């Protein structure tokens, strides 16, 4: 085996190790725990010293386990040619629905992520993916809004597309899942209409 092949094999081994650590972390979090790096290593059958070379804190491994599990479930396709405000609103409506359903299907994982962010000392930025999804969904609106107004709309909609929204709806407002989804979709529609200076549409079924 030449040096290039050895380098390729080492890279693949590192990927496999990382995947196994994240799989073990996800299983432990799904069971309701907030595992340490050592506990994840033991679950994965990987040495603790090796695990700490990949993740130095529980916050990091919990965050990555959550994101690894859901990263490919949300897709925002490019808008069709000539798409305008109506298409942008429909795209955001689908995105809000998809994200809410993704979060409710993985609620314990996202609550663990939120808890790690709230009590930990990690400086890793969380929640950035939603901004990319929203900008892509709102792409047909970019020509109709000044850049500051467009970014303000993205930031406002970001409040509706995360575990924080579910916590408020379920824990504070005590609404059922179906009603919570309807509330978020109505809020998204209202925000977009407001950004465009239009009267908001009624609640969707």
Whether residue 128 lies inside any domain: the answer is yes
The whole-chain average pLDDT of the chain stands at 86
The residue out of 30, 54, 69 marking a domain boundary is 69
Give the range of the structural domain holding residue 97, as residue numbers without chain letter.
75-195
Q: What is the pLDDT of residues 165-183, one digit of tens each?
A: 999 999 999 999 999 999 9
Q: What is the pLDDT of residue 124?
A: 46
What is the chain's Cα-based Rg?
20
Whether residue 203 lies inside any domain: the answer is no
Q: What is the pLDDT of residue 205?
A: 39
Whether residue 204 lies inside any domain: the answer is no
Domain containing residue 64: CATH number: 1.10.10.60
> CA 33 to CA 24: how far, in whole Å?
12
Percent of the chain scoring above 70 in pLDDT: 85
Are residue 127 and residue 176 in the same domain, yes or no? yes
> CA 77 to CA 196: how far, in whole Å?
23
Are residue 90 and residue 189 in the same domain, yes or no? yes
Encoding tokens for residue 184? 């978020």
Q: What is the pLDDT of residue 127?
A: 57
- Number of structural domains (the chain) is 2
Are residue 9 and residue 101 in the same domain, yes or no? no
Are residue 105 and residue 172 in the same domain, yes or no? yes
Are residue 107 and residue 173 in the same domain, yes or no? yes
Question: Is the pTM above the cut of 0.85?
Answer: no
Encoding tokens for residue 152? 């303000």
Are residue 62 and residue 133 in the same domain, yes or no? no
Contact status, residue 182 vs residue 204, Cβ threshold 8 Å: yes
The segments of the chain whose pLDDT lies below 50 read 121-124, 203-205
Bin 2: left if φ > 0, else alpha if -120 < ψ < 50, else beta: beta
Q: What is the pLDDT of residue 6?
A: 66
Q: What is the DSSP string of 88-122?
A: HHHHHHHHHHHHHHHHHHTHHHHHHHHHHHHH---
Contact status, residue 40 vs residue 28, Cβ threshold 8 Å: yes
Q: What is the pLDDT of residue 42?
A: 96
Encoding tokens for residue 177? 């899942």
Are residue 189 and residue 111 in the same domain, yes or no? yes
> CA 113 to CA 106: how far, in whole Å?
11
Are residue 107 and residue 26 in the same domain, yes or no? no
> CA 87 to CA 192: how far, in whole Å?
11
The residue out of 40, 69, 98 marking a domain boundary is 69
């Amino acid at each position: 085996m030449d040096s290039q092949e050895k380098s390729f094999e080492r890279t693949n081994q590192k990927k496999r190790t990382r995947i196994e650590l994240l799989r073990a972390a996800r299983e432990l979090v799904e069971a309701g725990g907030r595992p340490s790096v050592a506990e994840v290593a033991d679950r994965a059958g990987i040495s603790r010293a090796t695990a700490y070379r990949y993740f130095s804190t529980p916050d990091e491994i919990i965050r990555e386990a959550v994101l690894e599990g859901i990263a490919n479930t949300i897709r925002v396709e490019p808008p069709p040619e000539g798409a305008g405000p109506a298409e942008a609103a429909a795209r955001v409506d689908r995105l809000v629905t998809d994200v809410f359903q993704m979060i409710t299907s993985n609620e314990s994982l996202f609550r663990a992520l939120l808890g790690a962010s709230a009590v930990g000392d990690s400086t890793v930025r969380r929640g950035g993916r939603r901004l990319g999804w929203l900008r892509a969904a709102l792409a047909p609106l970019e020509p109709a809004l000044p850049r500051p107004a467009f970014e303000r709309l993205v930031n406002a909609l970001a409040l509706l597309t995360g575990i924080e929204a579910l916590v408020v709806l379920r824990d504070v407002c005590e609404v059922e899942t179906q009603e919570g989804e309807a509330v978020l979709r109505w809020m998204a529609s209202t925000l977009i209409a407001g950004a465009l200076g239009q009267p908001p549409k009624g609640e969707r079924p």
